[in-house]
Structure 1
């Protein structure tokens, strides 16, 4: 048998690819920090400025800001004039990096990289011995999810997402029973309750921390038609109570998603609708090769969604369960009419409109 000849061009190209991975990994962490301390927002409001001027405007320490700017400059995110030693953020870049960008702000999503890195050693042990990393080890997960989803909800929930269901805004205006499953920090259900005071809204989540956040926001907004309860979605225990049930990026995280979907179907009144929002992807790996977020989604699945489910002896559906699997489970749960659609401000998700 002849020896395989090494394709040196291919090897060098792959080596360079991995160097880019290393550079981009550290850049992701600095991008997250820049978002957290408001540097992108500050830069977007300034003309070309020195590191001292930028630090002063942001209320930050100049030496840290200067080194951060160095990384942003060599990464071609921030522009730099060597003569004046000034930096500026192009408007075209600000459109993906500032809070003003709303759901288009990718800098906020970078915060998940550090969050996932925090469970790296625990996850490696799961590779060796099985089991999973429990939800409790993920630190600021609730805050990050609330920030990430909140930008989309604020921009689109009332005016774009709910109207995807024909006639739904009018029914909400008249007053119906609404539930949000896996409500997290409850922002979505509070927005619905505030927009439609005649509807009665309840949010369920197994996290006491999330439920407390939802209750606190409802109290601040003085909402009398929003309530929250700590409850395992697999044991919903409601029969024909709701006219609308929503689940925003929550079903794939459940330990036993089939039980959850069956409970949701049972909780709907005749003519009720289940609006499920979940990851936009295929159930077939080969179909995801050109998905713009595929690597991120499979990584998040490995390091959070799948392993959290396994920590509960769950089915480990994973983040990238895909539209084909979703249709299968929805049909098995009793939904005979399932329609899918997509929303331009949201490149991550598919919207399922489901009826029994």
Structure 2
């Protein structure tokens, strides 16, 4: 199906030209983002962030990479004005102001981590086209490196702020973790936050459930090597989650909306809390209504991730396909339906793109 020629004839030439320029810029920027993700994975930004000007052979030696490819990558970075280029000396430098957004030492502000979502989305083009035609979904295993990308993103968002910002949001939680309580991470993924808590609070017991053992297996292996015996992981479908009165504190980090049955999971979490227990749910900050998200600074990216990952993996499990931007209104309504009588939400300075719900059965929750 092609555009109606009569409709095209009515287009304003000036507006058409400006839109074409905008699309051209977006295509250009998309290519740069792919190269940013590549540079992050190869450690190129890190090798530039802690040194002065260097030539492509010098950078190649520092990173152990092939000079010809490093030189071409640097050309992308130079023409996109991400690195500075001195043609007289043929040297390149990553300005400290740019390094603050592109190096691992800049975590949790390293946007190169977020850039990794773009090549991952592009790799899924053919399977997603099939989903558009069939209406069916996909399995977690259909996504290459997804658990790795999510773990790196979660490390920046959650783990880096866990003890200074996130845990203090819950009244008395830190004190009770020190004394010893039972904790669950529902939809734990790699389980990095759980392991950090297990190290910090040896008197408490930590459990991680996730549908895919592949997600947490590397972490579980490291725990064995480390001798960390107060944390365990289990692969299970959270639709059958029914452990009444088993945990003092339950958390889920960016995990509820793509479950097969999010409401059943929340119902199970509500039942699983002991008296005085608390549930902490981190998810995407945004509205359930598209019109309220038009000015969202990462709206296109979040809806794209929803289209390519969160919606199809939910549909692939027979779920409702809520999507990444299921929204704060629906999230609160589902928490209420699960039986939580006290719900408060927080947005954090270091993480403006997520919302943190603290839910309990009591008016004055204690973990």
TM-score (normalizing by structure 2): 0.94
Match of 1:195 in 2: 200
Range that drifts further, 212-221 or 186-195: 212-221
1:167-316 to structure 2, matched below 5 A, reads: 167-316=172-321
Counterpart residue number, 2:32: 27
Describe the superposition over 1:86-129 as per-residue Cα deviations: whole angstroms up to 9, x where unpaired: 11011111111000011211112222222222221111111112
Q: How many Å separate the matches in 2 of 1:44 and 1:137?
A: 35
After superposition, the Cα gap between the structure-2 partners of 1:331 and 1:50, relative to the gap in structure 1 and judged at 3 Å, is same
CA contact under 8 A between 1:116 and 1:138: conserved in structure 2? no
1:9 counterpart residue number: 14
Paired positions, count:
356
Q: How does 1:57-136 map to 2 (within 5 A)?
A: 57-136=62-141
* More divergent stretch after superposition (321-330 vs 55-64): 55-64
Per-residue displacement from partner, 1:18-58 (whole Å, max 9, x unpaired)? Answer: 11121112111111110011110011112111111121222
CA contact (8 A) 1:214 1:228 kept: no
Displacement of 1:311: 1.1
Structure 1 stretch displaced more, 179-188 or 44-53: 44-53
Tell me by how many angstroms 1:3 deviates: 9.8
1:38 matched to which residue of 2? 43
2:344 pairs with one of 321, 327, 339: 339
Instruction: Identify unmatched segments of 5+ residues in structure 1.
Output: none
Q: Does 1:18 align with 2:1?
A: no
1:146 and 2:151 matched? yes
SS of the aligned residue for 2:92 comes to strand
CA contact (8 A) 1:190 1:217 kept: no
- Which secondary structure does the structure 1 equivalent of 2:344 belong to? strand
Distance, in Å, in 2 between the alignment partners of 1:37 and 1:4 is 48
Structure 1 runs, 4 residues or longer, greater than 4 Å off: 1-4
RMSD: 1.5
Q: Distance in 1 between matches of 2:262 and 2:65?
A: 45
Greater shift in the superposed pair: 298-307 or 116-125 = 116-125
> Matches of 1:72 and 1:332 in 2, distance apart?
50
Instruction: Give SS of 1:252's match.
Output: coil
Equivalent residues of 1:204, 1:211 under 8 A apart: no
Give the secondary structure class of the aligned counterpart of 1:251. Answer: coil
Cα offset, 1:211, TM superposition: 3.3
Please report how far the alpha carbon of residue 16 of structure 1 lies from its aligned counterpart in structure 2 after TM superposition. Answer: 0.7
- Aligned residues of 2:314 and 2:320 also touching (Cα < 8 A): yes
**Corresponding position: 1:326 with 2:331:** yes
Indicate the residue corresponding to 1:49 in structure 2.
Answer: 54
What's the TM-score once normalised by structure 1's chain length?
Answer: 0.97
**Unmatched 5+ stretches in structure 2:** 1-5, 362-367
CA distance in 2, matches of 1:166, 1:278: 20
Shift of residue 159, structure 1, vs aligned partner: 2.0
**C-alpha displacement at 1:2, in angstroms?**
11
Maintained 8 Å contact 1:109/1:148? yes
Helix, strand or coil: the match of 2:107? helix
